[in-house]
Amino acid sequence: MTVTASSTPGGAPGSASAPAASKNGSGAGPLAGKTVVIDPGHNPNNFRHTQEINEPVDIGTNKKECDTTGTDTNDGYTEAEFTLDVSHRIRAILEKQGAKVVFTHDGDRTFGPCVDERARIGNQAKADAVVSVHADGADEGQRGFHVILPAKVKGGAADTAPIVGPSRELGVRIAGKFVQDTGMNASNYVGDGTALDTRSDLGGLNLSKVPKVFIECGNMRDSRDSALLKSAEWHQKAAQGIADGIMAFLGG
C-alpha cells in the first residue's frame, strides 16, 4: 500500500488471467442473501493522474489525499495489478457460494475512486463485509501479511464505534484462514506477530458504517515475498484465504 515513485506498470511473469466470475448473486449457496464489497487497492491508471489523486478529501477526522499510486515490485509489477487479479479471484469464489459481490472499481476508471467514495460504496451496498485488498512496500527483509482494523474514531462523518467489534472479528477470521491457505507468515514488522494492526488514519475505514478491514497480502519490495506476489498460483491461494475468512465471518 506504500506509495512509490514508480510510474510504469510492469507485468507479473507467468501470471494467468483471473478466472471468470460466476453469475452475481445467484441466490443459492451458504452465502445467499449476503452482500460483500471487495475494494481492489489503488487503480492501474492512478499514476497518470497524480494531480487528481493528490487532491485532499475529508475522512472525518482530517483530510487526506484522494488515493495513491500504490507500490510495486523491484521489477515493476504493480500493486494495482495485483489487487485487481486477486479481487477477481475472490469474487469468483464468493459468488459460487451465493454471495452478491460488489467491486468499488474494476480498473475501468481513469483514476480512483477516492478513499471516501470507496467507503461510501460499501455503505450504500449495506454490505455484510468489506475487504480492501492491498500489498505493502516495506524494506527488504520485512516479510509477511497483516490485516488492518479500524480504530475507534469519531469526528465529522467518521464514527467507527459500531463497527470496531465486528470488523475485528472479520479481520481475525481472515488472518487465520490466510495463514492456513497460503502458508504466509504474519508480518515480522507490523502487529507484533499477531498479523493485526489497528489504524485511525485510513479514510476507507474511518468512514465505513459496515464491517471493513484492509489486508496487506505481503511485501512487494522483499525478494521472497515478491516472488509469491507475482505468482498466479499464489494469487489463487491468497484469494481463497481471504474468501474463506469472509465466509467464516458470515457463517457460510
The pLDDT of 230-239, averaged and rounded, is 98
20 domain-assigned: no
Please report how many Cα atoms fall inside a 13 Å half-sphere around the Cα of residue 165, on the Cβ side: 2
Predicted structure pTM score: 0.91
- pLDDT for the residue numbered 26: 56
4 domain-assigned: no
pLDDT surpasses 60 at 165: yes
- pLDDT for the residue numbered 214: 99
The pLDDT of 6-34, averaged and rounded, is 55
- pLDDT for the residue numbered 188: 98
169 domain-assigned: yes
24 domain-assigned: no
- pLDDT for the residue numbered 2: 38
10 domain-assigned: no
List active site positions. 216
- pLDDT for the residue numbered 154: 97
Q: Find the domain containing 153 and state its range.
A: 35-250
- pLDDT for the residue numbered 25: 56
Lowest mean pLDDT among 20-29, 62-71, 163-172: 20-29
Contact residues for 215 (Cβ-Cβ < 8 A; gap 6+) = 131, 132, 133, 134, 145, 146, 147, 148, 174, 178, 242
- pLDDT for the residue numbered 14: 38
The pLDDT of 10-27, averaged and rounded, is 43
- pLDDT for the residue numbered 91: 98
16 domain-assigned: no
pLDDT surpasses 90 at 27: no
Under 8 Å between Cβ of 198 and 150: yes
- Each as own residue / partner, the long-range contacts of residues 114-118 (CB below 8 Å, 24 or more positions apart, any chain) are 114/53, 114/55, 114/57, 114/66, 114/67, 115/57, 115/59, 115/64, 115/66, 115/67, 115/202, 115/203, 115/204, 115/207, 116/57, 116/58, 116/59, 116/203, 116/207, 118/39, 118/203, 118/204
The pLDDT of 39-48, averaged and rounded, is 97
Average pLDDT, the chain: 91
The pLDDT of 71-95, averaged and rounded, is 98
pLDDT surpasses 50 at 18: no
27 domain-assigned: no
What does the buried/exposed string (b/e) look like for 61-87 if buried means 16 or more CB atoms within 10 Å of the residue's CB? Answer: beebbbbbbbbbbeeebbbbbbbbbbb
**122-142: per-residue pLDDT in tens?**
999 999 999 999 999 999 999
- pLDDT for the residue numbered 28: 84
**184-206: per-residue pLDDT in tens?**
999 999 999 999 999 999 999 99
CATH value at residue 164? 3.40.630.40
- pLDDT for the residue numbered 243: 98
Total number of domains constituting the chain:
1
- pLDDT for the residue numbered 146: 98
User: Hey, what amino acid is at 198?
Assistant: T
